[in-house]
Amino acid sequence: MSVKLIAVDMDGTFLDDRKNYNRARFAGQYQQMKAQGIRFVVASGNQYYQLRSFFPGIDHEISFVSDNGGWVVSENQDVFNGALTKQQYDTVIDHLLTLPHVDIITCGKRSGYTLQSYSEGFKRMAGMYYHRLELVDDFAHPDDVIFKFALNLPDDLLADTMDSLTAILEGIVVPVSSGHGSIDLIIPGVHKANGLRILQDKWGIKDGEVVTFGDGGNDIEMLCQAGFGFAMANAPDKIKQIARFQAGYNNEEGVLDVIDKVLKGEAPFNE
């Protein structure tokens, strides 16, 4: 069965630890993907506006499953976005504000929102991932469609916080790990795999024709859903155990090495 869709996570997967990738090598691969009719999708927990900045010149041709599936954009066209009700938003934010040591970003379609009162270091870090970020005095519901919360907290509090949020906010949002000291609260069922499913239905692409790459807890569903799910060599063991295949390290162009195999029809893509 031929591959018709390649979807990549960004941080720790497509990008190296310096937040870059081999642009010249990928540009050549992308032209071959187009010639072979293979769709390229960026599937990340990051904000749409940040993600498209990595692909100047082709951002209007490719598709983005951004904010962990909260907002799907294909060829500059809105395809899907989740939306929390004001009541759901208030329930979540009221609880989050009781948690010490947790910095919050509210993720909306127009912008991300975080508190002016947070540390300068956190606001600088947030600005790297949110190209549209408004500093606000409080977390009153903004005039925007809200589909995710991003939390930053000390690594040693991550596991316990995930457990407590799972219990307390059940049915409203689901916590997923998106990297060191980071938790995303997403709408139940509105994850990366759901975003890919929407695009697959739009294009008539079967799961067996999909290749996905990831390294974190927010990639699990799409690694399992795809016929060819690749965990990165730098991924935690629990991610490697659920993925059928493994790619090389993100710092060694592991994703691009596998894309070469797709384009050449080499194993495991020649079965």
Identified catalytic residue from 9, 59, 67, 215: 9
Residue 19 lies in a domain: yes
Task: Judge whether 161 lies within some domain.
Answer: yes
| CA atoms in the 13 A half-sphere facing the CB of 189 | 7
Question: Which pLDDT does position 157 carry in this prediction?
Answer: 93
With respect to residue 155, please indicate whether it lies within any of the assigned structural domains: yes
Residue spans of beta strands (DSSP E) within 45-99: 63-66, 71-74, 77-81
Domain end, chosen from 138, 156, 186, is at 186
In a domain, 270, yes or no: no
Same domain, 72 and 199: yes
Catalytic residue status for 9: yes
Cα 186 to chain centroid distance, Å, stands at 11
Q: In the listed set 186, 205, 229, which residue is the last one of a domain according to the structure?
A: 186
148 and 227 share one domain:
no
Asked, for residue 105, whether it belongs to a domain, the answer is yes
Residue 20 confidence (pLDDT) above 90: yes
pLDDT tens-digit readout, 93-118: 999 999 999 999 999 999 999 999 99
For the chain, the average pLDDT equals 96
Amino acid symbol at 199: L
CATH number at residue 207: 3.40.50.1000
Average pLDDT over residues 161-173: 96
The Cα 85–Cα 146 span in angstroms is: 8
The domain boundary, picked from 169, 186, 203, lies at 186
CB-based contacts of 35: which residues, under 8 Å, 6+ apart? Answer: none
The three-class DSSP label of residue 159 is helix
Tell me phi and psi for residue 66, to 5 degrees: -100, 170
The CATH number assigned to the domain holding 165 equals 3.30.1240.10
Q: What is the pTM of this model?
A: 0.95
In the block, residue with structure tokens 């032209």? 31
What domain count does the chain have?
Answer: 2
Res. 1: pLDDT tops 80: no
User: Residue 42, CB half-sphere, CA atoms under 13 Å: how many?
Assistant: 30
Q: How far apart are CA 216 and CA 209, in angstroms?
A: 22
Q: Give the domain extent around 158.
A: 86-186
Instruction: Tell me how far apart the alpha carbons of residues 246 and 232 are, in angstroms, rounded to a whole number.
Output: 6
**Could you tell me which of 249, 254, 11 has the C-alpha nearest to residue 129?**
11
Do 164 and 206 reside in the same domain of the chain?
no
